[in-house]
Amino acid sequence: MSGFRKLIGKSGFKSVISSILCIIAGIIVGFVVMIILSLFNDKINIGDAFYGLRIILGGPFSSGTAKYIITNLGDMIFYAAPLVMTGVSVALANKTGLFNIGAPGQFLMGTLGSLLVALNINTIDKPGLSVLVWILAILVGAVCGAIWGCIPGFFRAVFNVNEVIVCIMTNWIAANIVSWVFGEMPHLVNKGAGKSGYLFTTATTGNSTPKLGLNNIFKGSYIDIGIFVAIALAIVIYIILTKTTFGYELRACGANKYGARYAGMNEKKNIILSMAIAGALAGVGGALYYLCPGIEFKFDSAYAKLPDYGFNGIPAALLGSNNPIAVIFVGLFIRYLSIGGDNLSSAGYNKYIADVIIALIIYFAGFSKLFRDIMDRRRKKEASIIKADIADVKKDAEPIIETSEAEATAEAESNVSPDVQPVTGEEVDQ
């Protein structure tokens, strides 16, 4: 029992529980939306709502035959890679106390940089060189994203302007820049039959992301090694955040910027650096997505709509409690739901139902503090019971109980506000 009590006391466990609660709540309310939709549409009856829910929850496994399941599984993994990148981007910024809603813009700038490199250098005859160009393309994408991330960071650090509004402005500027730049480069535009406003894919220049045989396992899917790049970068960010002085400084600035300044940290530099790295990660996300040989970039309408990948990084980060490792799994899970959404047409619904559920999950993620508070309240009650027990024994052995009571109180207090991470020595040890 005491082991179990210790487990629910851990903040990591609480985060997982509150994330699961968010997901369940999101799915339930999403189901209600499906029922409402079935009332309005004569072609759908309420039974279809249950069938639709089963399809969404089945994800790629509800795609029919084994062949499609394999293809959809591969696609799920492929689409998860950019999502993990934007998710880690948002998570890193959140750790520094910043809300990076600029991920769509950074994603687009990463796309711009990487495609400019990958499509302008032709290595179709030089297979040895193509990997180098591929790496260069990703690096350029990262740099472009980093520059775009710097802008809100700079505004926040120097002018103390809310980063959210700056991020949104830079998003739309990036969207227009991308359409503009590619519009000026007709030699990159695919003018093939039935194509309008699409760029060539990286397959034409030979600089696409290597597949290393993965396409033989997941036949017919887009899968490439992008997911490994994403996982590796997520792990690197995790190590930076938890094991290095720099990562500690970032988290300290996020927990309490006045405290961080008092401790001699340059919080302005940290804010800008954090946003730059976040931007670089989102930029790599854009690069990984469009360097795949099967994905075409529609540049002429890019200025009118921001990419969903950027925004879906927000739920990935929130559900993963801003832990880069957890974001990997959450990214896969979100794509799992989305693939389920794509299969919904057999139940008479459309793919946007999955978006509704994801949006609802974020809505409930805002309450995660509430969920945790409820768990803490139970925990506090238990602590007070322990205290009462100790008080009963107090008459017999006074000196020993003094300390254990102090411990119990300290334990109860330390669990009051898990959201505000105190800057203590314990953090350094992690």
Instruction: Give the footprint of another protein on this chain (CB under 8 A).
Output: 33, 37, 40-41, 44, 99, 101, 151, 155, 159-162, 164-166, 168-170, 172-173, 176-177, 179-180, 183, 303-305, 311, 314, 318, 348-350, 352-353, 355-356, 358-360, 362-363, 365-367, 369-370
Residue 238 and residue 88 in contact, taking contact as beta carbons nearer than 8 Å: no
Rg (CA), the chain: 24
Q: Is 129 buried (19+), middle (13-18) or exposed (0-12) by CB count in 10 A?
A: middle
In this complex, which beta carbon is closest to another protein, that of residue 314 or of residue 383?
Answer: 314
Helices (H), 320-397: 324-342, 352-365, 368-393
Please, which residue, 34 or 291, has the CB nearer to another protein?
34
Residue with Cβ nearer another protein (88 or 175): 175
Of the pair 291, 347, the CB lying nearest another protein is at 347
DSSP string, 83-94: HHHHHHHHHHHH
- Beta carbon of residue 376, minimum distance to another protein (angstroms, whole number): 14
Whether residue 211 contacts residue 224, with contact meaning beta carbons closer than 8 Å, is answered with yes
| Cβ atoms of 98 and 107 closer than 8 Å | no
- Distance of closest approach, residue 337 Cβ to another protein, in angstroms: 12
CB of 354 to another protein, least distance (A): 8
DSSP 298: B
Query: DSSP labels for 1-39?
Result: -HHHHHHHHSHHHHHHHHHHHHHHHHHHHHHHHHHHHHH
Cβ 228 vs Cβ 144: under 8 Å: no
In terms of residues, how long is the chain? 430
88 vs 178 by CB, closer to another protein: 178
Q: In angstroms, what is the minimal distance from the CB of 141 to another protein?
A: 21
Cα atoms in the Cβ-side hemisphere of radius 13 Å centred on 219: 3
Between 305 and 378, CB nearer to another protein? 305
Encoded amino acid at 299, one letter:
F
Nearer to another protein, 342 or 355 (CB): 355
Q: Tell me how far, at minimum, the Cβ of 130 lies from another protein, in Å.
A: 32
State in angstroms the smallest separation of the CB of 308 from another protein.
9
Q: Which residues contact 413 (CB under 8 A, 6 or more apart)?
A: none
Report in angstroms how near the CB of residue 160 gets to another protein at its nearest. 6
Shortest CB 324 distance to another protein, Å: 19
Nearest C-alpha neighbor of 257 from the set 274, 238, 244: 274
Q: Which residue, 229 or 278, is less far from another protein as judged by CB? A: 278
Q: Is-contact 317 88, C-beta < 8 A?
A: yes
Closest CA to 134 of 187, 202, 230, 84: 202
CB-nearer residue toward another protein: 168 or 386? 168
Q: How far is the CB of 412 from another protein (least distance, A)?
A: 17
